[in-house]
Amino acid sequence: MTRRGVVAGVAGVVGAAAGAGYLVHRAALARWRVTEDEMAASARALPDDLEHRMVEVGDGGRIHVVERGTGPPIVLVHGVTLGVATWAPQLRGLADRHRVLAVGQRGHGSSVAGRDGYSLERLAEDLLEVLEACGVRDAVLVGHSMGGMVSQLLVLDHSVEVRRHVAGLVLVATAAGPLLPGPGGPTLAGALAGAAGRGLRHAERRGRGMLPFEDLAVWAARVSFGIRPEPLDLELTRSMLTAMAPASMAGLIEPLLRFDVHARVGGITLPTRVVVGSRDLLTPPRTARALARGIPGAELTVLEGCGHMVMLERPSELDELLDRFSVEVSAAGGPGAGRQPDGTILP
């Protein structure tokens, strides 16, 4: 075969592969498509009887909180690019026996940042101010992904104050960091954050979203899920991702990439559960195992086949875990029932 023939053959193979890939792409998008009416009528829509409030925080920011139900409180904190709607299954499934509060983190949904910007330490202060403003006592605090990072900072940096509000901690699909390990991690984090931040701020100035193509948002949502995600869950995740302002994401990239408390988590003295999906590609099981090993007395639950979006993929199992854990921490003594560093139970 001549060189020209070889080139033509390779080009044909590449073209055929590209065509097949495009057909698979279009078929997947069609299979995952959900209408607004279908979403509104589904269990993934927020309940109509939520109580909404805006909490003014110390730097001038405003934090959106939704609440439903009565009983022992459960406080839910979402991850980056998500929002209070992430917790629609829990707001429906737990509110008959719990006071369920979902906190919208600054830069997401209706929550807006104040003058301090987007450090995770500031987000932890937001959460403390929300707990105080809402009069939360003896809660189970549940943090997903970035919300789990913020929750770790809350209990580490505000250990005395948090005991008035939180009796137990559940860390879902999260990590103690660093997200970019190794000696070059901090340098690489700074470089990546700088480049991504410039691109996102440019998109904001041009009136564009975080992602240049709508189809890309669907695939970005798909990466968050494990085996056979439900189209409703994909659409809910996509809609929250595309609603986030690029400038807000630009402010969060570097804090996320630089987050690292792995050497400090031994100081978490609250009763703790760690939950992860076996198919989580974003915060894989090895990070959850390291987190659980580092926290005294923490218990690990791995959900087979589940991805990063545990609250949507396995709502019944997560609800059952939270319900049972709430009973356990209440039986252990409610406020101040966490362990001291030596393992003893506080009175």
Q: What is the CATH number of domain 36-177+210-244+259-331?
A: 3.40.50.1820
Mean pLDDT of the 282-303 span: 97
User: What is the tens place of the pLDDT at every residue in 88-98?
Assistant: 999 999 999 99
Confidence of residue 23 (pLDDT cuts 50, 70, 90): very low
Cα distances (Å, whole numbers) of residue 38 to 41, 45, 271, 314: 5, 10, 40, 20
Task: Please name the residues in contact with 111: beta carbons below 8 A apart, sequence gap of 6 or more.
Answer: 61, 62, 63, 64, 104, 105
Task: Please name the residues in contact with 331: beta carbons below 8 A apart, sequence gap of 6 or more.
Answer: none
All structural domains of the chain with their residue ranges = 36-177+210-244+259-331
pLDDT score of 62: 98
Rounded distance between C-alpha atoms, residue 255 and residue 13, angstroms: 44
CA–CA–CA angle 210, 34, 22 (5° rounding): 65
* Structure tokens, 138: 């003896």
User: What is the tens place of the pLDDT at every residue in 121-172?
Assistant: 999 999 999 999 999 999 999 999 999 999 999 999 999 999 999 999 999 9
Average pLDDT, the chain: 88
Q: What is the DSSP string of 56-105?
A: E-TTS-EEEEEEE--SSEEEEE--TT--GGGGHHHHHHSTTTSEEEEEPP
Rounded distance between C-alpha atoms, residue 262 and residue 177, angstroms: 6
Task: Please name the residues in contact with 103: beta carbons below 8 A apart, sequence gap of 6 or more.
Answer: 63, 64, 65, 75, 76, 77, 78, 84, 126, 127, 130
Q: Which helix (H) or strand (E) holds 326?
A: helix 315-331
- Whether the CB-CB separation of 133 and 62 falls below 8 Å is answered with no
Task: Please name the residues in contact with 133: beta carbons below 8 A apart, sequence gap of 6 or more.
Answer: 55
pLDDT score of 40: 86
What percent of the chain is predicted at pLDDT more than 90? 70
pLDDT score of 340: 35
More confident residue, 304 or 191: 304
